[in-house]
Amino acid sequence: MKILVLGGTRFFGIQLVWALLEKGHRVTIATRGLTRDPFGPAVERVIVDRTDPSAMKAAFSHRSFHTVCDDLAYCSNDVKTALDSLHCSRYVMVSSAAVYSLRPGVCEQSFDPLAHPLRWGCRADFDYAEGKRQAERALFGEYPLQQAAAVRFPFVLGPGDYTRRLYFYVEHAVRRLPLYVDAPEAQLSFIHQADAGRFLAWLAAESPLTGPVNACCPGTASVADLLGYVRSRTGGSPLLCSGGAPAPYNGTPAHSLDTRRAQGAGFSFLPLQSWLPGLLDRCILEAQRGLQP
């Protein structure tokens, strides 16, 4: 299959491209050309600003793809720019669990994008969660004939995580730094970057699933669980206080995602406990190296 990835040079986008290449697909990546990628001659590259409608049409008006994987749709205008410029049989958009009013066991029907008022706008016009809601609303409401799926990810973790949110907790524990956590016992959902990329590749080339679809690993963990693990391995613990550095997951209520739709279609996610301890150990080693003179 000919597959276009908008993005694909950072974090789980890299895993997405590798997964597609391993299956023998012809992959083109479209980026602004600012980030080097590891794919060598295995992919075709198009340099374009995906937020510029004229540039997108110039780059893609005479080309077609079986699937477009859009890692970079953050608002309604992003979806419009992509689908007004591209010719594809299938469109897979990275959305987010942030579209929900989060709670345990939240299923896809908990947020209906078609019931959400549409506002055309660019990324600066919305916060992250509302931007993703508007992207989904534009996709499913304004392009109803387009075969499409929107993947709702929770927090994505992995060694390529440029947000450094997990490392933030580990570093504060190892170095015993002041930290403010608003709900340390709240159980949260996660997915590993490799699973996120593998799931996107599966949706792009193997699964006929359409509409919104949840994707997360079985199991949950709280900030208290994360800090407890670090303490068990190092003896270190942050100074939890209201004046400490605000923790990255603050403001996120306890939640889990119902993934029966994806699993019923044949996808198996890695259990959280099969990879989280190893990732925490990796963060611990990095934080300990930072303490060395």
User: What does the domain layout of the chain look like in residue ranges?
Assistant: 2-155+190-214, 158-189+218-253+271-291
Give the closest residue to 85 by CA, choosing from 146, 127, 128, 136.
Answer: 146
16/9 Cα distance (integer angstroms):
10
How far apart, in Å, are the Cα atoms of 199 and each of 10, 42, 187, 213? Answer: 16, 21, 23, 11
Q: Which two tokens stand for residue 286?
A: 């990095």
Q: At a CB cut-off of 8 Å and minimum separation 6, what does 24 contact?
A: none
pLDDT value of position 293: 53
Sign (positive/negative) of CA torsion 1, 207, 99, 184?
Answer: negative
pLDDT value of position 254: 98
pLDDT tens-digit profile of 66-101?
999 999 999 999 999 999 999 999 999 999 999 999
Cβ-contact 238, 178 below 8 angstroms:
yes
Partners of 27 in the β-ladder: 3
pLDDT tens-digit profile of 103-127?
999 999 999 999 999 999 999 999 9
pLDDT tens-digit profile of 195-204?
999 999 999 9
**73 half-sphere exposure, CB direction, 13 A CA radius:** 30
SS3 269: coil
pLDDT value of position 20: 98
pLDDT value of position 292: 62
The answer as to CATH 3.90.25 being correct for domain 158-189+218-253+271-291 is yes
pLDDT value of position 61: 87
pLDDT value of position 109: 98
218/256 Cα distance (integer angstroms):
9
Q: Counting beta carbons within 10 angstroms of the beta carbon of residue 231, is it exposed (0 to 12), middle (13 to 18) or buried (19 or more)?
A: middle
Q: Which residues of the chain fall short of a pLDDT of 70?
A: 291-293
Q: Which two tokens stand for residue 19?
A: 């997964």
> Which helix (H) or strand (E) element contains residue 2?
strand 2-6
The dotted CATH code for 2-155+190-214 is: 3.40.50.720
Distance of CA 87 to the CA centre of its chain: 24
Task: Starting at the earlier edge strand, list the strands of the sheet with 178-180.
Answer: 239-240, 178-180, 245-246
Mutual angle of helices 223-234 and 276-291, in 10-degree steps: 60
Cβ-contact 243, 180 below 8 angstroms:
yes
